[in-house]
Amino acid sequence: MKVFINVRLKDAVLDPQGAAVKDILTRAGYDFVKDVRQNKLFEIELNGETAPVQLSEIADKFLANPIIEEFKISR
């Protein structure tokens, strides 16, 4: 079984990488692009069933830095 944990910078935190991607798209003429935020997606293969609380623990303790980032777990 596989789960996906997406980590993104909180909205209040400036994302210079996303801003740089947005700039290059605008410069290339894609003027319909309003904003870009760059996220990190972890694909995690599990050994059988895993409690959601354990997944949250991984995300909170390792994959995301809660000071600047937030995460979302999906299957």
Partner 1 sequence: MKAGIIRFPGSNCDADCFEAARDAGFEPAYLWHKDKTINVDLVILPGGFSYGDYLRCGAIARFSPIMEAVFEFAEKGGLVLGICNGFQILTEAGLLPGALMRNRGMRFICKFLNITVETNSTPFTRLYGIGEVLSIPIAHGEGNYFSDDITLNELKKNNQIVFRYHGENPNGSLDSIAGISNRRGNVLGLMPHPERASKLLLGSSDGFRLFKGLLG
Contacts with partner 1 by CB under 8 A lie at 13-14, 16-17, 20, 62-63, 65, 67-68
Q: How far apart are the first and last CA of the chain?
A: 9
What is the closest distance, in whole angstroms, from the C-beta atom of residue 49 to partner 1 in the complex? Answer: 26
Q: How far is the CB of 67 from partner 1 (least distance, A)?
A: 4
Count the Cβ atoms, other than its own, within 10 Å of residue 39: 13
CB of 30 to partner 1, least distance (A): 20
Nearer to partner 1, 48 or 65 (CB): 65
Q: Using alpha carbons, list the distances in angstroms from residue 1 to 7, 36, 43.
A: 20, 31, 10
